Amino acid sequence: MPPPTLHRRQLLAGLAAGALASGPLRSLAAGAPPALGAGIRLIANENPYGPSPAALAAMRTAASRGAYYPGPERGELIGRIAAANDLDEEAVVVSSGSSEALNAACLAWGRAGRIVAPAVTFDIQLRYAERLGVSVQRVPLADDLQIDLDAMAAAVDDGVSLVYLCNPNNPTGLALPREQLEAFIDRVAPRAVVLIDEAYNELAADPAAQSMLHRVQAGHNVIVTRTFSKIHGLAGLRIGYAMAPPVLAETLRQHVMSFPSSVAYAGALASYEDRAFLQHSRRMVAEGRSLVQETLRRNRVRYLPTEANFIYADIGRDADAFQAAMKAEGVLIRGVYGPYRTWSRISMGRLEDLERFAGIFDRVYNAEIT
């Protein structure tokens, strides 16, 4: 049975509105849009090659119809996602970024029991839920920094209503082995909803093999979320979606509070259909990963194998201090996550920015050592 509706509008007030910045359409050959500010932005797992030319054109048209609510655009996107994933439309929930769907799930099932999640993962929605009284149990990562599925399964008792996994995980970039994740779902899903955040799935080496979408298609107690913020390069548009068996999807719909604009719907639909742009983005990310990995190897810095558009590296000193030193040189990277004081996450950017990053990293890293 799904939990009763929690009226978030009674708990929170205010919504943020977005605007589309107009500009000339760019072909893929023309490269990326202008960067934000003067620095090299490798901090937020964005795709700076987006939006795609098709998405830009669709958004300009949608903006000209901005006087009207986005009913048709919403229906068209939901229908396209459902058809592409062999689901009924009732199984698809579109929200303002996948983070809004994650928020809704944490509040909906958090009313009925605890949430179990990895101790180091994407956790904005977990912290949000905690502020509203939800209990979250965080399970430490394994020694190899992989999500410890055995420990998480052991933590699931009758008081747990939701289990959250990010796959590939953020900030580590590690993907869960398919067989182990399948076994985990078999063990846990009869007792609690399994919420799988697949924000980086489309950047993985084999997205279809890694996804748990087939569990949703089979009607299991599983929710899969995706986003247009990563490979699609639409982070600023705030649009994502969840796929779940209809009874779970209806509970999510009852708890989602923030919805995309007609401009976001139009851009997302056009990008979803733009296979050339998605392939281009995947190639650029792969080239960027190779460049950053070579920089780290040259400096004998340990890093984890990644299935995402970022790399998690042990730089051997306080990551916050190293972040500040890199920022002073115009490069933005992440600092400390949880107990891993010497590990830093480096997002992929445009190749020319990553080439500049390589020289700056060499200089700052070796100056810190000496």
| CATH number assigned to the domain comprising residue 355 | 3.90.1150.10
Q: Is residue 228 part of a domain?
A: yes
Q: What range defines the domain where residue 160 resides?
A: 53-273
* Average pLDDT score over residue span 12-26: 32
Domain boundary among 273, 301, 324: 273
Q: DSSP label at 120?
A: S
Residue 46 lies in a domain: no
| Token output for 159 | 């008081």
The mean per-residue pLDDT over the stretch 255-270 comes to 96
Domain boundary among 219, 238, 273: 273
Same domain, 189 and 75: yes
**Element holding 310 (H helix, E strand):** strand 310-314
**What pLDDT score does 26 carry?**
41
Query: Is the per-residue pLDDT at 25 higher than 70?
Result: no
pLDDT given at position 19: 30
- Whether residue 168 has a cis bond before it, omega within 30° of 0: yes
- Whole-number mean pLDDT of the chain? 91
pLDDT digits (tens, 9 = 90+) for 182-215: 999 999 999 999 999 999 999 998 999 999 999 9
pTM: 0.90
Determine the angle formed by the axes of helices 351-369 and 275-298, rounding to 10 degrees: 20
Count of structural domains within the chain? 2
For residues 285 and 265, membership in a common domain is answered with: no
pLDDT exceeds 60 at position 223: yes
Last residue of a domain, one of 211, 243, 273: 273
pLDDT of amino acid 232: 98
Q: Does any domain span residue 47?
A: no
179 and 57 co-located in one domain? yes
Is residue 313 located within the same domain as residue 244? no
- pLDDT over threshold 90, residue 150: yes
**Under 8 Å CB-to-CB from 45, ≥6 apart: which residues?**
170, 200, 230, 308, 309, 310, 347, 348
Q: pLDDT tens, 274-297?
A: 999 999 999 999 999 999 999 999
The pLDDT value recorded for residue 269 is 97
For the cut 60, the answer to whether the pLDDT of residue 22 exceeds it is no
Q: Residue 39: pLDDT band by 50, 70, 90 thresholds?
A: confident
pLDDT in tens, 101-139: 999 999 999 999 999 999 999 999 999 999 999 999 999
Distance CA 263, CA 134 (A): 34
Task: Read off the pLDDT of each residue in 308-330 and give the average, rounded to a whole number.
Answer: 97
Least confident span in 34-38, 94-98, 185-189, 339-343: 34-38
User: Residue holding tokens 């080496």?
Assistant: 205
Q: Give residue 8's pLDDT.
A: 41
Residue 23 located in a structural domain? no
Q: Does one domain contain both 236 and 180?
A: yes
